Amino acid sequence: MRRVSLHDVAAAALLLALALLPLYTQLTGNFFLLTLFTRIVILALAAVSLNLILGYGGMMSFGHAAYLGIGGYAVGMLAYEHVYSGFVQWPVALAASALFALVIGALSLRTRGVYFIMITLAFAQMAYYLIAGLARYGGDDGLTIQKRSQFFAPIDLSDKTQFYYICLLLLYGAIYLVWRLVNSRFGMVIQGARSNDIRMRAIGFPTYRYKLACFVIAGTLCGLSGALLANQADFVSPAMLYWTRSGDLIIMVVLGGMASPVGALFGAVALLVLEEALSGITEYWQIILGPLLLLVVLFARGGIDGLLRTLGGKVRAKAGT
């Protein structure tokens, strides 16, 4: 049997803590914390989906927030047209994100490296302008959602605790899905293409198709996160898919540790809690966050996940095993 490492303990503790959080808020009545963590859980879902292509696939997409916006606007626009059923809204959100990912991916994956970064960024910005130009749906000002997605009787997204658990369940489901995916044959091909695309093609894998499929899966998952985010905020605006949001998602993935199933979750929690804490200290909190990011890039390359693994390794080395 595999030894339980510090990393696994920390991951399990975080997963458990998130599951027990509503209990704490019920006892203390601190509902701000629940709202904050609902947002964190939703954005963690987006980060997990980005980790699939960025961490495992080596595809440096700088346009991942586009799917947040597309998923969110699918919900927002349908609600505006008085279609409230979640059974319509959510599949539309997923399908729209998948379609966008398919088109963008098919074009962007023709390129590599820095071109890929810039192209995904430009396409996401294109989606931003498109949505900001929709005068019927609020344009730049965004769109208020009157009613959250409706499902059958006991499920009520307006109930804070219930909504939190739905988001959490979807997040854990996504983490499991990504974990299963990257350990499958499909995932091995994706990871092989990250290390050496030419060699993978030489041994007969059509890596372009594999990567495109992976890109579409990640986009669809992020679209789900967008649909949740729209429900959480009761509001959608073009800011959801502004390019800095894509940057935030990349930060979460890298800060948490790339190519680790729970890394993106670590990163999302760390970044958003840090933002919350810093903005409590000073109005100019980004002047601290910016250089902090730079330091992480320069000196802590494995992110939190890597740090936990190294620390765990050191403890074990001291114990003499």
Partner 1 sequence: MTLFIEQCLNGLQFGLLLFLLAAGLTLVFGIMDLVNLAHGSLYMIGAYFAATFADWTGSFLLGAVLALGATLLVGMAVEVVVMRRLYGRDHLDHVLGTFGLILFFNEAVRLIWGAEGLSLPLPSWLNTAVRILPGFDYSAYKFSIIVVTLAVAAFLYVLVMRTRVGMLIRAGASNREMVGALGVNIKLLYTLVFGLGAALAGLAGLMQAPILTVQIGMGENILILAFVITVIGGIGSVRGALIAAIFVGVVDTLGRAYLPELLRLVLSTNAAATAGPALSSMLIYLLMAVVLVVKPEGMFSAGGK
Query: Is residue 250 a contact residue for partner 1 (CB under 8 A)?
Result: yes
Query: Is residue 60 a contact residue for partner 1 (CB under 8 A)?
Result: yes
Closer Cβ to partner 1, 1 or 135, answer by number: 135
The CA distance from 221 to 118, in Å, is 22
Name the token pair of 297. Answer: 């890039």
Query: Is residue 56 a contact residue for partner 1 (CB under 8 A)?
Result: no
Name the token pair of 104. Answer: 């963008």
* Spatial CB neighbours of 243, under 8 Å, sequence gap ≥ 6: 62, 63, 65, 121, 124, 125, 128
Site string for partner 1, 270-289 (x = CB under 8 A): --------------xxxx-x
Closer Cβ to partner 1, 136 or 185, answer by number: 136
Closer Cβ to partner 1, 94 or 117, answer by number: 117
Stretch that binds partner 1, among 116-124, 170-178, 185-193, 230-238 (CB under 8 A): 116-124
Closer Cβ to partner 1, 36 or 118, answer by number: 118
Q: How many CB atoms lie within 10 A of CB 232?
A: 21
Q: Is 288 helix (H, G, I), strand (E, B) or coil?
A: helix
Q: Which residue from 26, 111, 146, 184 is in contact with partner 1, where contact means CB under 8 A?
A: 111
Closer Cβ to partner 1, 179 or 243, answer by number: 243
Main-chain dihedrals φ then ψ at residue 58, nearest 5 degrees:
65, 20
DSSP state of 150: B
The CA distance from 234 to 51, in Å, is 27
> 136-165: which residues touch partner 1 (CB under 8 A)?
136
Q: Which residue from 15, 88, 134, 177 is in contact with partner 1, where contact means CB under 8 A?
A: 134
Torsion angle of the four alpha carbons 16, 19, 22, 27, in this order, in degrees rounded to the nearest 10: -30
Closer Cβ to partner 1, 97 or 246, answer by number: 246
- The Cα-based distances of 247 to 50, 70, 174 in angstroms read 11, 17, 21
Main-chain dihedrals φ then ψ at residue 174, nearest 5 degrees:
-65, -40
Query: Is residue 62 a contact residue for partner 1 (CB under 8 A)?
Result: yes
Q: Which residue from 99, 213, 292, 311 is in contact with partner 1, where contact means CB under 8 A?
A: 292
Name the token pair of 208. Answer: 């372009």
Query: Is residue 198 a contact residue for partner 1 (CB under 8 A)?
Result: no
Query: Is residue 297 a contact residue for partner 1 (CB under 8 A)?
Result: yes
Name the token pair of 96. Answer: 């729209």
CB 269 within 8 A of CB 14: yes
* Spatial CB neighbours of 242, under 8 Å, sequence gap ≥ 6: 65, 128
Closer Cβ to partner 1, 213 or 292, answer by number: 292
Query: Is residue 107 a contact residue for partner 1 (CB under 8 A)?
Result: yes
Q: How far is CA 318 from the centre of its chain?
A: 36
In angstroms, give the least distance from the CB of 254 to partner 1. Answer: 6
Name the token pair of 301. Answer: 């390359």
Q: Which residue from 29, 113, 204, 320 is in contact with partner 1, where contact means CB under 8 A?
A: 113
Query: Is residue 221 a contact residue for partner 1 (CB under 8 A)?
Result: no
CB 241 within 8 A of CB 66: yes
Query: Is residue 212 a contact residue for partner 1 (CB under 8 A)?
Result: no
Closer Cβ to partner 1, 135 or 319, answer by number: 135
Q: Which residues contact partner 1 (rule: CB under 8 A)?
A: 54, 60, 62, 107-108, 110-111, 113-115, 117-119, 121-123, 125-126, 129-130, 132-136, 243-244, 247, 250-251, 254, 284-287, 289-294, 296-298, 301
